[in-house]
Structure 1
Amino acid sequence: MAKLFLKQAKQYADARPSYPPQLFQFIASKTPSHNLAWDVGTGSGQAAKSLAAIYKNVIATDASDKQLEFAAKLPNVRYQHTPSTMSTAELEQMVASKGTIDLVTIAQALHWFDRPTFYEQVKWVLKKPHGIIAAWCYYLPRVSDAFDTVFDQFYSTNVSPYWDPARKWVDDNYRSIDFPFEPVDGADHTGPFEFVTETMMDLDDFLTYIRSWSAYQTAKEKGVELLAEDVVEKFKLVWGEDAKKSCQVSNLFENWKNRGFLKTYANGCFYCVGDVTSTNFYEFIH
């Protein structure tokens, strides 16, 4: 997975969205203690930066040291390069001891993981009771009806052949991803619930975002330029006169025990969160 983003680490850092503050406020409300959070697959630290404003200490890990080079340096965030899979001894050495972490977050990365192994590691490091895991992904941005029509066609026709198979979990908004946990305490259903965020960007910003996709890199390696001149011209025509556009994010979230996922950026958020106890672990669902 780390290699998919190696060649566009700077574009990833420049163009990937920050996540809605409501997301972190909600997650933090489910962790009684705010001492230590672990952001897994942190990339260039988008989620870690927000966590650092709430949690006393944040451990932010990634299998790509190139991505970590572009992460914002903060006094209470420790960035750590880790292998894609870790033994229990490596987990304790590089991340934390057993039962010491309040929150584990996975932003736009859970679909890349060996999830059964990862979930066991999460259970090992999280506090019991009330340790939380929250994972999320974002899908396609929404700009305007005219732009969205052209962009969606570009995505389904030009881009789709170059995605890794794991992308299917994102395209499904994590609804069908294996996640063997229960709703958080205090919730009478699992959602989704909705809120809206937005960001201002010009077309160049938007194209940089596309260049940060792993599918864009894969296409380039196969000799295909997804943002060919004719494609960019189509985008310019429907972008319109305004230099900057408001990209709206209609965010849907769900609440789960030991579970979380978020869809965000310019059209929506899907996330779930979950409470870890010593007695409520379910068997893995396949």
Structure 2
Amino acid sequence: MAELFVNQGKEYADARPSYPPQLFQFIASKTPSHNLVWDVATGSGQAAKSLAALYKNVIATDVSEQQLEFATKLPNVQYKHTPSTMSIPELEQIVTPQGTIDLVTIAQGLHWFDLPNFYQQVKWVLKKPHGVIAAWCYFLPRISDEVDTVFDQFYYTDSQPYWDSARKLVEKNYRSIDFPFQAVDGVDHTGPFEFVTETFMSFDGLLTYIKSWSAYQTAKKKGVELLGEDVVEKFKLAWGEDGHKTAKFPVYLRIGRVGNV
């Protein structure tokens, strides 16, 4: 499904929310060492930017070269383009040798992966027994009662036929996703742990956010414009006269350690 995001790098960078500091602080508190992170499916680097403030070095990879072009450039972040599938030798050549990573992160992307293959790679690169994997997703923003009513109708009715089946894992807050890792120190399960991220959003920003959806891109390829004039008008009436509103995105984290396996 990565091809759905290839041609919308700017929209993705502009519209996708950042993640709350509390999320990264919680994750960082679970890794004994803070030397090296692999941020997988980094997109335009929303997570990599925050990780760079807590870890000495970040390797941020994505299959979309265009998305990487819009990522914030930082001295301790290496952005690398990777193929959609990698063998272990390719992983070592492009990303890192075996057992060298303190933390693997995946923001809003795990549901697209070939999980058995990816988890094999994660277990290969993480330090044992305390290397940590942290994967999180966010769901629909909560803005106001009026906007939320229109948004939910649009999401669950208008856009639903164009979402890939993997989206169901996000709708279930990653609760049902396969996650074969041990609980990290200090907790007795691997999540999901809930956080909230807030962003100041304009009406145009709301429309740009919707245009960054994979469902929007799928519909567009099929000749369907989800944001027709009638739909935009419904959103506009619900939005009202306020220039900007606070959008609260719920974020759901799965986190675990690799153990000695």
TM-score by length of structure 2 reads 0.97
- Correspondence 1:98 to 2:98: yes
Residue 244 of structure 2 is matched in structure 1 by: 244
1:182 Cα shift?
A: 2.6
Amino acid at match of 1:241: E
Q: Given the two structures, how large is their TM-score scaled by the length of structure 1? A: 0.88
Q: Which ranges in structure 2 are unaligned for 5 or more consecutive residues?
A: none
Q: Size of the alignment, in residue pairs?
A: 261
Q: Which amino acid aligns with 1:243?
A: G
Q: Is the 8 A contact 1:34 1:102 kept in 2?
A: yes
4+ long deviations beyond 3 Å: 188-197
Paired with 1:60 and 1:166, the residues of 2 have a C-alpha distance of 23
Q: Say whether residues 1:113 and 2:95 are aligned partners.
A: no
SS at match of 2:217: helix
Q: CA deviation at 1:195?
A: 4.3
CA contact (8 A) 2:4 2:217 kept: yes
Instruction: Give how far 1:196 is off.
Output: 3.6
Q: Which amino acid aligns with 2:58?
A: V
* CA separation of 1:97 and 1:12: change in aligned 2, threshold 3 A: same
Q: Aligned-pair RMSD on alpha carbons?
A: 1.2
Quote the sequence identity (%).
75
Decide whether the 8 Å contact of 1:7 with 1:217 is kept in 2.
Answer: no
TM-superposition CA deviations, 1:188-209 (whole Å, max 9, x none): 4555554443211111011100
Q: Find the residue that maps to 2:7 and give its secondary structure.
A: helix
Deviations 1:122-167 (A, max 9, x none): 0000001210000011111100111111110011111011111211
Cα 1:15–1:133 shift into 2, 3 Å = same
SS in 2 for 1:7: coil
Letter in 2 for 1:274: G
Give runs of aligned pairs for residues 218-233 of structure 1, distance below 5 A: 218-233=218-233
The one-letter code of the counterpart of 1:159 is S
1:73-152 equivalences in 2 (<5 Å): 73-152=73-152
Mark the CA change 1:18 to 1:32 in structure 2 (over 3 Å): closer, same or farther: same
3-state SS of 1:269 partner? strand
| In 2, Cα distance between equivalents of 1:86 and 1:230 | 44
1:43–1:239 Cα change, 3 Å: same
User: CA 1:208 to 1:26, structure 2 compared with 1: closer, same or farther past 3 Å?
Assistant: same
Tell whether 2:259 aligns with 1:277.
Answer: yes
**Displacement, 1:15?**
0.6
Please state whether the residue corresponding to 2:208 is helix, strand or coil: helix
SS at match of 1:78: strand
SS at 1:134's partner residue? strand
